[in-house]
Copies of this chain bind each other. A is one copy, B any other.
Amino acid sequence: MHSLRFTAESSSNGVVERDFTVGDVPGVLWSPASGADRAPLVLLGHGGGAHKRHPAVTGRARLLVTGCGFHVAAIDAPGHGDRPRTAYDEREIAELRRAQAAGEPEGPVVVRYNARLAELAVPEWRAALDALQGLPEIGADGPVGYFGIAMGTAIGVPLVAAEPRITAAVLGLMWPDALVETAKRITVPVEFGMQWDDERIPREAGLALFDAFASKEKTLHANAGKHFDFPRFEADGAARFLARHLGRAVTSPA
Interface residues of A (CB under 8 A from B): 196, 207, 210-211, 215-224, 233, 236-237, 240, 244, 249-251, 253-254
Contact = CB atoms under 8 A, between A and B. Distances in A.
B244 A249 contact: no
B217 A219 contact: no
24 contacts: A196-B211, A196-B218, A196-B220, A210-B222, A215-B224, A216-B224, A217-B223, A218-B223, A218-B224, A219-B221, A219-B222, A219-B223, A219-B224, A220-B222, A220-B223, A221-B221, A222-B222, A233-B240, A236-B240, A237-B237, A237-B240, A249-B253, A250-B253, A250-B254
Nearest to A211: B196
Contacts of A216: 224
Contacts of A210: 196, 222
A218 B229 CA distance: 12
A153 to B, nearest CB: 17
A253 B251 contact: yes
A216 to B, nearest CB: 6
Contacts of A221: 219-221
Contacts of A222: 210, 219-220, 222
A220 B210 CA distance: 13
Contacts of A236: 240
Contacts of A196: 210-211, 218, 220
Nearest to A222: B220
Given A210-B222, A219-B223, A222-B222, 10 more contacts: A196-B218, A196-B220, A216-B224, A218-B223, A218-B224, A220-B221, A220-B223, A221-B221, A237-B237, A250-B254
A88 to B, nearest CB: 38
Contacts of A240: 233, 236-237, 254
A244 B254 CA distance: 9
Contacts of A218: 196, 223-224
A210 B216 CA distance: 23
